[in-house]
Amino acid sequence: MGLTKRMMVNVAAVIPHDVAISERARSGRVEQIIEGLKRIEEMLSAKGAVPREYLNIEEAADFIGVSRQTLDRWRMEATGPAVHRVGRRVLYSLADLRAFMETHRQEPLQ
């Protein structure tokens, strides 16, 4: 399960375009997020590891490239990805995180 071009474009949507940073800095942040996604995928696909469909808050925040606080705020405001509660645990499914990123996808300006 590798990173697709579509997924890489989705990562770019995480960084708001109204934030006053240079394109070079924005590109660097996107590269950091992509590297984080690759590390998570490597951990999930490690030999002998059981594939996980659900991530905890920290893992989900890393997966989509935001802070835990942002993910917590989105959950409280009901504006973020769908959440699963199991007892006191808060879990995010990979499918829900990918769907959330897809809904926030922006095409680059031509």
pTM above 0.75, yes or no: no
d(CA 48, CA 70): 33
Task: Report the C-alpha dihedral over residues 26, 2, 64, 106, rounded to 10 degrees.
Answer: 60
Give tens-digit pLDDT for 51-71: 679 999 999 999 999 999 999
Domain boundaries, the chain: 5-103
Give tens-digit pLDDT for 28-49: 777 888 888 888 777 766 655 5
